[in-house]
Amino acid sequence: MAPNDVAEHGHRAIIHDPAQHAPLEKVACRAFGGTSHWWGGNCNPFLDCEFASGEWPIPYGELAQWYPAAAKFLGCGSNFINEVHPPAVGRDGVFLDGISRQAAFPRDLSLTWQRQAEAQSNLHVVLWAEVVGLNYGQGKKVSGVRACIAPSAELHHFSAGTVVLAAAGLGTTRVLLAEQMRGAEFEGGRHLGRYYMGHLTGTGSKIRVQPESTGWGVRSPEEGEYIRERLLVGPNGFGQCHSTAFWIGNFPLWDAEHRSGGKSAKYLLGKVAKTLKISSTDEALDSRLGLQRTEWRPHLANIKKRPMDAFVTVVRTLRKLLSGGLQRLPDYPQPERDGTYALWYHAEQLPSAENVVQVEGPVALNSLPPLSIKFSFSDEDVSLTVQAHLRLKKVFNESGSGISMPDFDPDKLAERIRKNAYDGYHQIGTTRMAATPEKGMVDENCKVFGVDNLYVASASVFPTSGHSNPTLTVVALAQRLAAHLSNKKTKAAVDLRLTEADGI
- The three-state secondary structure class of 151 is coil
Residue of 270 and 47 predicted with greater confidence: 47
Q: Are 85 and 227 in contact (CB under 8 A)?
A: no
- Model pLDDT, residue 117: 83
Say if residues 246 and 231 touch (Cβ distance below 8 Å).
Answer: yes
Q: Could you report the per-residue pLDDT of 448-493, keeping only the tens digit for each?
A: 999 999 999 999 999 999 998 999 999 999 999 999 999 876 655 4
Neighbours of 456 (CB within 10 A): 28
Q: Return d(Cα 198, Cα 249) in angstroms, integer.
A: 21
pLDDT digits (tens, 9 = 90+) for 192-219: 999 999 999 998 888 887 644 544 555 5
Cβ contacts of 35 within 8 Å, gap of 6 or more: 27, 28, 29, 168, 425
Which pLDDT value is given to residue 220?
Answer: 54
- At 500 the three-state DSSP class reads helix
Over range 78-104, report the average pLDDT. 58
Which phi-psi region, left, alpha or beta, contains residue 473 (left: φ > 0; alpha: ψ -120 to 50)? alpha
Contact 481, 456 (CB under 8 A): no
447 φ/ψ angles, rounded to the nearest 5 degrees: -90, 135
Give kind and range of the element (H or E) at residue 208. Answer: strand 199-209
For residue 292, the model assigns a pLDDT of 47
Q: Convert the pLDDT of each residue in 307-331 to its tens digit.
A: 888 888 778 777 766 665 545 445 5
Q: Would you put residue 38 in left (φ > 0), alpha (ψ -120 to 50) or beta?
A: alpha
Percent of the chain having pLDDT more than 90?
Answer: 38
Minimum mean pLDDT range among 126-140, 317-331, 423-437: 317-331
13-15, strands of its sheet edge to edge: 13-15, 371-374, 356-359
Among 133-142, 262-271, 429-438, the range of highest mean pLDDT: 429-438
User: Which residue type does 409 have?
Assistant: D
- Helices 261-275 and 297-305: angle between axes, nearest 10 degrees: 140
Bridge pairing between strands 199-209 and 142-149: unpaired
Closest-CA residue to 192 (of 434, 453, 435, 440): 440
Strand (E) or helix (H) holding 132: strand 129-136
pLDDT value at position 281? 45
Say if residue 413's pLDDT is above 50.
yes
Q: How far apart are CA 168 and CA 409, in angstroms?
A: 39
Quote the pLDDT of residue 86: 43
**CB-facing half-sphere around the CA of 409: CA atoms within 13 A:** 4
pLDDT band at 407 (very low <50, low <70, confident <90, very high): confident
Amino acid making up residue 274: K
Residue 365 CA to residue 368 CA, distance in Å, equals 8
CA atoms within 13 A on the CB side of 348: 27
pLDDT band at 93 (very low <50, low <70, confident <90, very high): low
Phi and psi angles of residue 8, each rounded to the nearest 5 degrees, phi first: -65, -35
| Torsion of the alpha carbons at 234, 238, 242 and 244, rounded to the nearest 10 | -40
Distance CA 458, CA 165 (A): 8
Write down how long the chain is: 504
> Where do runs of H (alpha helix) occur along 46-167?
60-64, 67-74, 109-118
Q: What is the DSSP letter of 487?
A: H
What angle in degrees, to the nearest 10, is found between the helix axes of 410-420 and 379-399? 130
DSSP sequence for 239-282: S----EEEEEE---TT-GGG--HHHHHHHHHHHHHHHTT-----
Task: Give all domains of the chain, ordered by start, each with its CATH number.
Answer: 3-250+331-357+383-489 (3.50.50.60), 255-330 (no CATH)
Spatial separation of the C-alpha atoms in residues 327 and 491, rounded to whole Å: 49
Q: 20 pLDDT exceeds 90?
A: yes
152-171 pLDDT, tens digit each = 778 999 999 999 999 888 99
Cα gap 344→43, rounded to integer Å: 16
Whether a cis peptide bond, with omega within 30° of 0, leads into 106 is yes
